[in-house]
Structure 1
Amino acid sequence: MANSFFSSPRVYFGNGALTALNTLNDRKVAIVTDAFMVSSGKAAALCAHMPRATVSVYGDVRPDPDIDILKEGAAHFKAFRPDVIIALGGGSSLDAAKGIKVTLEEHYQQHRIELIAIPTTSGSGSEVTSYAIISDPQNGRKYPLVSQALVPDIAILDPQLVLSVPRHIAVDTGMDVLTHAIEALVSTGANDFSDALAEKAIALVWRYLPQVYSNEQDICARTHMHNASCMAGMAFNSAGLGLVHGMAHALGGMLHIPHGKINAMLLPLLIEFNSEQASAQTTERYVKLGKILGIEQGSAPQIIAQTVAKIRALNQHFGIPATLKALGTDSAMFEPLRQPLVHATLADGCTASNPRQPTEQDIDRLLTQIAG
């Protein structure tokens, strides 16, 4: 079967990237964002780049958007009938905007809406992917939606927008980028195009995320992390993800753990799991990962073990705990969720492209390990 690699969206990056909004003058523009982006003036600042546009703002996106947010946002814009939706914010705002866009297009039928994504965190890569994560709070679940209709037309990566992101959030989202890139590298859907982007993203994160941690105002490091996030998004949009994300969606949804943090906690554990019964190709890819991280000497098992140790050391440096117990999760709350967590992980779309297909017993064992 033939593979494909997308050439959309058009990506504007670097200082001054927001000037790309100049083309929106005389159009009806809907901005989807959160309350902080409104109160901080960032949403209003976009208007300076399109002074003749007619603008309407929906600023009530909350973390982990659910179906109610999509309905509420779509209702807000129905009478406005926008030509363009600008998604401004972190992954939650971008995912909400995608859902609002397709909801409105279903309502309008023949009226296509252009989608412009402007991320203000370096993490989800949602600005270039066909993915949107929508939550089901009643059942404590997160569902990855996948459709070409969700791919933005334009992505704008302006590093000035991420300078205000606090250190702890920059670290969590940065580890999400690393996880995206590593999972894309070893995914069953990996290909030459996704490899090129995944490998570069890993190298950029490994070099520049510690610099962001050391100095939140390092614009050079922030720029490279913002670009890495986008590259990792392109990589996994083409190749798929894996069991880290399958488990992270389940654990994050049911235990309310930030997505990047639970990814970081699971990543070394899942590299070990995938390496236990790895094909020659998967082993070769993990060795390549180790070499990107600067490990040159040793057999394949030794390089993979050193890779896992390096990632655990990075987590420790950033203050990311190794287990749910160390995170402060109550075991009395965790244990009743064990079976639902197993089922949710196996049903997650990301698990399907993991290089090693897990059984229920495998997931149960991994849950015991991450619980601590």
Structure 2
Amino acid sequence: MFSVNFGTKIHMGEDSLKRLEQFDKERIYIITDEFISKSEILSKVMALISSSNELLVFKDVIPDPPIDTIVAGIELAKDFRPTQVIAIGGGSAIDAAKGIIYFGQQSNNLMDASLICIPTTSGTGSEVTNFAIITDAENGTKYPLVTDDILPKEAILDTSLVINLPQSQTANTGIDVLTHAIEAMVSTKASDISDAFAEKAIKLVFDYLPRAYKDGTDKVAREKMHIASTLAGLAFNQASLGLNHGIAHAAGAKFHIAHGRLNGILLPYVIKFNSGISNSINQEVAEKYRYIASILDLNTASATIGTRSLVNEINKLLTTLGIPHSFSEYGLDKKLFDDNLSEIADSAVKDMTTKTNPIPVTPKDVARILIEAY
């Protein structure tokens, strides 16, 4: 038996931000980063909230939010005791808000707060998941936080907030969407329901990500990628992820490469490893990748050909998006790579997302993948 829970109410389409006008006499805690706080996005959001509400803004979120950020966010809200928390930004802002709410509940400071997410990137899908990543900066470790206690109550998908997203962010977050969807489809917890979300997300990425990358003002492409991100989030919230994210969490803490870009570098190598097409084919897993290739109308004459077609198509997409095909192409220092290889391999195997990889993995396997990807 398995259970399905879609606990997040999603507002989308033009004027979806007007949902904020419905708040009355609430204590609203806005969590964001310095960039958003200085942009028109925050002022646009705050202008829609009536003066009957009390507002408090925490703007100190940084990428890969560390424990110190979570503690500071809880401390600021200690006396305010919010009834609503609004996270505005990319995955880091949303993850920080989730961490602040979760650990704040443990200390009874944010007990009655509901979480509303307003994503300003099209990538993490965090606005509909019970996942968050918190960083221990001192030890260089990322910890997944997975609990329904952090599942957002509402998500507001307003395409106008991503129109001006730079090309590099469009590429990085977009390839993260693809990784989420592919990993959800081959996960050991995949189901027909999660597959339905993942399949549509994959198709949307290949159809619209190159358009959004080429022309950020393409409203159709931006809207489709915003929806794809949420669909992929819904998929992996049911099915979880796999080794690609396990390695990305471990390596990202050491190499400080943007999460989506790191996923993109790794994705072809992880697919080849999981399917076994480079040595001894794993027929069952390769058939899953073959099915994904069929969604994209690629050559699927056999499981091996289908998987290779998928890898080739992903590599073409990486080239289009200006994403490196290897760590050396990225410019990663070889000594830094070598010095951290063993620790990353051990951490990746222990990562929660690796548990649902389609085949079992050892640290030696991870090391081989990383060496090939260098």
Q: Calculate the TM-score normalised by the size of structure 2.
A: 0.96
CA deviation after TM superposition for structure 1 residue 49, in Å: 1.9
SS of the aligned residue for 1:369 comes to: helix
Matched, 1:287 2:286: no
Aligned positions of 1:119-130 closer than 5 A: 119-130=119-130
Residues 17 and 158, structure 1, Cα contact 8 Å, conserved in 2: yes
**Residues 307, 270 of structure 1: CA spacing in aligned structure 2 closer, same or farther, 3 A cutoff?**
same
Alpha-carbon distance between aligned partners in 2 of 1:361 and 1:9, rounded to the nearest angstrom = 39
Alpha-carbon distance between aligned partners in 1 of 2:253 and 2:357, rounded to the nearest angstrom = 20
Matched, 1:368 2:371: yes
CA deviation after TM superposition for structure 1 residue 103, in Å: 2.3
Residues 278 and 356, structure 1, Cα contact 8 Å, conserved in 2: no
2:306 maps to 303
Residues 290 and 300, structure 2, Cα contact 8 Å, conserved in 1: no
CA deviation after TM superposition for structure 1 residue 47, in Å: 2.0
Alpha-carbon distance between aligned partners in 2 of 1:55 and 1:24, rounded to the nearest angstrom = 11
Matched, 1:350 2:365: no
SS of the aligned residue for 2:7 comes to: coil
Residues 174 and 260, structure 1, Cα contact 8 Å, conserved in 2: yes
Residues 87 and 115, structure 2, Cα contact 8 Å, conserved in 1: yes
Matched, 1:313 2:316: yes
2:250 maps to 250
Alpha-carbon distance between aligned partners in 1 of 2:331 and 2:41, rounded to the nearest angstrom = 34
1:173 maps to 173
CA deviation after TM superposition for structure 1 residue 296, in Å: 4.4
Alpha-carbon distance between aligned partners in 2 of 1:249 and 1:109, rounded to the nearest angstrom = 29
CA deviation after TM superposition for structure 1 residue 297, in Å: 4.5
2:159 maps to 159
1:21 maps to 20
SS of the aligned residue for 2:88 comes to: strand
Per-residue Cα deviation, 1:157-177 (whole angstroms, up to 9, x for no partner):
000011121011111000000
SS of the aligned residue for 1:11 comes to: strand
1:260 maps to 260
CA deviation after TM superposition for structure 1 residue 15, in Å: 1.6
Matched, 1:325 2:324: no
Q: Calculate the TM-score normalised by the size of structure 1.
A: 0.97
Alpha-carbon distance between aligned partners in 2 of 1:160 and 1:278, rounded to the nearest angstrom = 45
Aligned positions of 1:1-372 closer than 5 A: 2-51=1-50, 52-108=52-108, 111-276=111-276, 280-371=283-374
Paired AA for residue 365 in structure 1: R
**Residues 71, 297 of structure 1: CA spacing in aligned structure 2 closer, same or farther, 3 A cutoff?**
closer
CA deviation after TM superposition for structure 1 residue 41, in Å: 2.9
**Residues 169, 43 of structure 1: CA spacing in aligned structure 2 closer, same or farther, 3 A cutoff?**
same
**Residues 136, 103 of structure 1: CA spacing in aligned structure 2 closer, same or farther, 3 A cutoff?**
same
**Residues 335, 280 of structure 1: CA spacing in aligned structure 2 closer, same or farther, 3 A cutoff?**
closer
Alpha-carbon distance between aligned partners in 2 of 1:321 and 1:279, rounded to the nearest angstrom = 27
- The range that moved more, 41-50 or 153-162, is 41-50
Q: Where does the alignment leave 5 or more consecutive residues of structure 1 unmatched?
A: none
- The range that moved more, 46-55 or 131-140, is 46-55
CA deviation after TM superposition for structure 1 residue 3, in Å: 0.7
- The range that moved more, 247-256 or 172-181, is 247-256
Alpha-carbon distance between aligned partners in 2 of 1:108 and 1:136, rounded to the nearest angstrom = 23
CA deviation after TM superposition for structure 1 residue 280, in Å: 4.5
Alpha-carbon distance between aligned partners in 1 of 2:184 and 2:341, rounded to the nearest angstrom = 27
Residues 31 and 43, structure 1, Cα contact 8 Å, conserved in 2: no
**Residues 347, 153 of structure 1: CA spacing in aligned structure 2 closer, same or farther, 3 A cutoff?**
same
SS of the aligned residue for 2:107 comes to: helix
- The range that moved more, 192-201 or 138-147, is 138-147
Residues 185 and 285, structure 1, Cα contact 8 Å, conserved in 2: yes
Paired AA for residue 37 in structure 1: I
SS of the aligned residue for 2:335 comes to: helix
Q: Where does the alignment leave 5 or more consecutive residues of structure 2 unmatched?
A: none
**Residues 316, 50 of structure 1: CA spacing in aligned structure 2 closer, same or farther, 3 A cutoff?**
same
Paired AA for residue 223 in structure 2: T
Alpha-carbon distance between aligned partners in 1 of 2:174 and 2:302, rounded to the nearest angstrom = 29
Residues 32 and 59, structure 1, Cα contact 8 Å, conserved in 2: yes
The aligned length equals 370
SS of the aligned residue for 1:71 comes to: helix
Alpha-carbon distance between aligned partners in 1 of 2:42 and 2:106, rounded to the nearest angstrom = 26
CA deviation after TM superposition for structure 1 residue 108, in Å: 2.2
Per-residue Cα deviation, 1:338-365 (whole angstroms, up to 9, x for no partner):
1101111111001110001112221111
Residues 177 and 229, structure 1, Cα contact 8 Å, conserved in 2: yes
Alpha-carbon distance between aligned partners in 1 of 2:227 and 2:211, rounded to the nearest angstrom = 15
Aligned-residue Cα RMSD (Å) equals 1.3
